[in-house]
Amino acid sequence: RSDAGADYYEITARRATARLLPGHDTEVWGYQGTFPGPTVESRSGRRTVITHRSELPRPTAVHLHGGHTPQDSDGYPLDLVGTGQHDMAGMAGPPGTEGATVLPQREHTYPMAQRAATLWYHDHTMGFTGPQVYRGLAGFHLVRDEEEAALGLPQGPRELPLMIADRSFAADGSFAYPELPGGAPGVPDAYMNGVLGDVVLVNGAPWPLARVDRAWYRLRLLNASNARRLRLALDPQPSGGGALVQIGSDGGLLERPLRHDSVDLAPAERCDVLVDFSRYPAGTRVRLRNRLGDGPAGEVMAFEVGSAAEDGFRLPGKLATVERLDPAKAVNTRTFVFHKGKQHWTVNGQEYRPGRSLAAPRLGQIEVWRFVTDFHHPVHLHLDPFQVLGRAGGGPGGNDAGWKDTVDVLPAQGVEVAVRFTDYAGRFLVHCHNLEHEDMAMMAEFTTT
């Protein structure tokens, strides 16, 4: 539904049976009962209002990842929706969760005062985000704007949002997610590195095959895995290489296209790429592979190149105007240390506690934030995107261009970003987007004022 001022959606999270694997039924927890959930589309500057409800056995909080969103609609981990008749076992456990309120519905209002970008929405429930996203609570939310429309990018059947997520299945076809810790001391082994699966799903289908024309395609790549890191490459590479032409990252269009042989995507990162399939002879089977995965986890999907050709698309040399956040104008430098211990996982020595704020940045001011880790931690900020200034004392990495909201911080390799929070005073989150790490309290709040 739409009116003069806004677009309206109603989304109910519910259980449903899906045929993900041939010959097996899988129970999914999905928005509208599907995995992925329905794709929401917004126009930049035009309000989108989503009424969220849930019929799931557990309550859910819904976060718009990459959304520039006031706190009340951000999907704070205690802002739960549900029927009120839940199995609350374990939910009263972590200190600070007493403040959780389960409402039958929540209206999230997204002003969408942000650039065109590939966003996604997913569960963000305190302590249970990993298992709930694993069961299917994730969907795309695309934002479009005039600047992007003017480029005439491939669209319709030649624009493919691809949600890549690994999963494991039990023999009966159900998702195999390791048991929750349930208050036991220490961190279960399955959680140390995060939960990995041996089946790669793309938009809910295992290793799918897409038929493509000999033409340009736009692939909006999203790594929606709980913990798996991806290094995506086309195989074979067309002669001359550089098959993946990156036009955007988490926060929308880059200034100009960047050609890659492969792109790295940590959990929650997005990469918007164009691929010119006319560089392949008709009949070629082009595989999208994950160079960091072994065996089946090294395969993602395949494209069968047809004979239909030509679209007249010309890759523009300039894509967008991207403002630079000047670190010399930063009013503050803050360091966030992500530490994975045997018992406690922490940010700056603290496990996540709702309501305990670790930083109070002022709206409108540039700050430098340094993320320091002892392991792979994809660090994500709510509210506003950032720009990567450098890694390990050097410049930004090959996949750090543009506006980012998640950055893959490698072991012992600090990352510095410039960030400027704007518009909305309130409490927001910085956390590791390895979802098991997040559930093990590797999350912190900051308060914008």
Among ligand C2O, Cu ion, none, residue 431 binds (CB under 5-8 Å by kind): ligand C2O
Half-sphere exposure of 383 (CA within 13 A, CB side): 26
Chain position carrying tokens 């995965």: 293
Min dist CB 156 to ligand C2O, Å, is 28
Find the angle CA(330)-CA(336)-CA(342) to the nearest 5 degrees. Answer: 175
Of the candidates 63, 141, 158, 228, which one interacts with ligand C2O according to CB under 6 A? 63
**Residue whose CB is less far from ligand C2O, 124 or 420:** 124
Among Cu ion, ligand C2O, none, residue 429 binds (CB under 5-8 Å by kind): ligand C2O
- DSSP code, position 56: S
Min dist CB 377 to Cu ion, Å, is 3
Count of residues touching ligand C2O (by CB under 6 A): 10
CA 103 to chain centre: 25
Q: Which stretch, 39-47, 258-266, 326-334, 426-434, contacts ligand C2O (CB under 6 A)? A: 426-434
User: 275: closest CA among 260, 285, 289, 291?
Assistant: 260
- Rounded Cα distance between 68 and 247, Å, is 21
Min dist CB 268 to ligand C2O, Å, is 5
Q: Per rule CB under 6 A, is residue 429 in the interface with ligand C2O?
A: yes
Half-sphere exposure of 274 (CA within 13 A, CB side): 25
Q: Per rule CB under 6 A, is residue 382 in the interface with ligand C2O?
A: yes
- Rounded Cα distance between 193 and 229, Å, is 11
Of the candidates 80, 388, 419, 432, which one interacts with Cu ion according to CB under 5 A? 432
Half-sphere exposure of 353 (CA within 13 A, CB side): 11
- Rounded Cα distance between 161 and 406, Å, is 18
Q: Per rule CB under 6 A, is residue 116 in the interface with ligand C2O?
A: no
Q: Which amino acid is at 100?
A: A
> Is the CB of residue 163 less than 8 Å from the CB of residue 193?
no
- Rounded Cα distance between 131 and 199, Å, is 16
User: 262: closest CA among 238, 225, 291?
Assistant: 291
Of 375-394, binders to Cu ion (CB under 5 A) are: 377, 382
Q: Per rule CB under 6 A, is residue 141 in the interface with ligand C2O?
A: no
Of the candidates 260, 431, 440, 448, which one interacts with ligand C2O according to CB under 6 A? 431
Of the candidates 46, 52, 58, 65, which one interacts with ligand C2O according to CB under 6 A? 65
Among ligand C2O, Cu ion, none, residue 432 binds (CB under 5-8 Å by kind): Cu ion
Among Cu ion, ligand C2O, none, residue 46 binds (CB under 5-8 Å by kind): none
| Residues lying near Cu ion in the complex (CB under 5 A) | 65, 377, 382, 432, 434, 437
| Residues lying near ligand C2O in the complex (CB under 6 A) | 63, 65, 122, 124, 268, 380, 382, 429, 431, 433
